[in-house]
């Protein structure tokens, strides 16, 4: 079960307290900008994690400045569309509400449910993502690599490292796919689930993938492939993009 820290109490709370009960996720973005994108990304990851656990989710975006631009930037980042809360009006009898909000920007946010705060992102230079990042997935990975509650200083070095990691993982996944499929080891699957169900610890998920990449020959390539494909249902990094490409 996914448990998330409520910023108001500092205590973990279930993201889906009722089995198969609906969870509403409200993303409160002040965008556009990298911090607003990080808020939407965290909301997107919550949606993905809950759906992997079989929980129905209703994701909405509250009215934000320059919302059209923010939605377009989020789509480029691989964030799935949110409904517009202004068009919904009333709730649907949801069992849980998760309010995803920028740290220090809780004014006007409903007191309902669990408050999930997201720390700011500072880019150096300020136009770094559009000027230096040819692959939006690299920006997504750079944001995933740090705890959401930790302020992030994003620069060209961090983006270059993320791009290199993506290229390496995509090549590896394409290579592993050429061998026979093998099941994900139960221990590896368990570590992945334990990581993302513990307050959505994405850096820990990435560390599991690094360990799988570096594992010895006792771990078949087919199992590595299935592990990366499974984890990517949460991460949304398009790790299987290069399947079928020339070796």
CATH code of the domain containing 185: 1.20.120
Same domain, 78 and 170: no
Tell me, yes or no, whether 132 lies in a domain. Answer: no
Tell me the pTM.
0.92
Q: Give the integer Cα–Cα distance in Å for 141 and 159.
A: 9
The residue out of 88, 118, 148 marking a domain boundary is 118
The residue out of 118, 134, 155 marking a domain boundary is 118
Tell me, yes or no, whether 193 lies in a domain. Answer: yes
The residue out of 95, 118, 141 marking a domain boundary is 118
Whether pLDDT at 132 is above 50: no
Condensed to tens digits (0 to 9), the pLDDT of residues 30-46 reads 877 899 999 999 999 99
Burial environment of residue 68 by CB neighbours within 10 A (0 to 12, 13 to 18, 19 or more): exposed
Same domain, 108 and 194: no
Same domain, 47 and 107: yes
Condensed to tens digits (0 to 9), the pLDDT of residues 6-31 reads 999 999 999 998 877 899 999 998 87
Tell me, yes or no, whether 58 lies in a domain. Answer: yes
- Residues with Cβ within 8 Å of 111's Cβ and at least 6 positions away in sequence, in order, are none
Same domain, 11 and 89: yes
State the DSSP string of 66-92: THHHHHHHHHHTTPPP-EEHHHH-S--
* Domain count of the fold of the chain: 2
Same domain, 9 and 110: yes
The CATH number of the domain holding residue 88 is 3.40.50
pLDDT at 170: 96
Same domain, 112 and 20: yes
Condensed to tens digits (0 to 9), the pLDDT of residues 137-173 reads 999 999 999 999 999 999 989 999 999 999 999 999 9
Same domain, 96 and 196: no
Tell me, yes or no, whether 123 lies in a domain. Answer: no
Tell me, yes or no, whether 157 lies in a domain. Answer: no
Give, in order, the Cα–Cα distances in Å from 53 to each of 48, 75, 194, 234.
Answer: 9, 23, 12, 11
Same domain, 17 and 80: yes
Tell me, yes or no, whether 243 lies in a domain. Answer: no
Question: Which domain covers residue 220, as residue numbers?
Answer: 163-235
Tell me, yes or no, whether 129 lies in a domain. Answer: no
Same domain, 114 and 191: no
Tell me, yes or no, whether 141 lies in a domain. Answer: no
Same domain, 113 and 170: no
Whether pLDDT at 93 is above 90: no
Q: What percentage of the chain reaches a pLDDT higher than 90?
A: 70
């Amino acid at each position: 079960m996914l448990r998330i820290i409520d910023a108001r109490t500092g205590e973990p709370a279930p993201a889906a307290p009722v089995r198969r009960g609906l969870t509403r996720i409200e993303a409160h973005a002040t965008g556009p900008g990298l911090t607003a994108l990080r808020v939407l990304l965290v909301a997107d990851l919550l949606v993905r994690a809950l759906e992997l656990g079989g929980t129905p989710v209703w994701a909405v975006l509250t009215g934000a400045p320059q919302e059209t631009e923010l939605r377009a930037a989020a789509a480029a980042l691989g964030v799935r569309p949110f409904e517009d809360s202004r068009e919904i009006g009333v709730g649907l009898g949801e069992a849980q509400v998760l309010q995803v909000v920028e740290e220090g920007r809780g004014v006007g946010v409903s007191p309902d449910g669990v408050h999930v705060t997201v720390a700011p992102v500072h880019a150096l230079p300020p136009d770094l993502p559009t000027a230096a990042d040819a692959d939006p997935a690299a920006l997504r990975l750079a944001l995933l690599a740090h705890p959401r509650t930790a302020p992030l200083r994003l620069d060209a070095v961090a983006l270059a490292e993320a791009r290199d990691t993506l290229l390496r993982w995509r090549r590896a996944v394409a290579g592993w796919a050429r061998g026979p499929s093998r099941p994900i080891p139960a221990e590896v699957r368990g570590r992945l689930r334990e990581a993302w169900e513990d307050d959505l610890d994405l850096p820990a998920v990435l560390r599991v993938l690094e360990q799988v990449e570096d594992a010895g020959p006792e771990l078949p390539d087919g199992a590595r492939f299935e592990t990366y494909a499974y984890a990517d249902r949460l991460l949304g990094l398009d790790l299987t993009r290069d399947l079928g490409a020339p070796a």
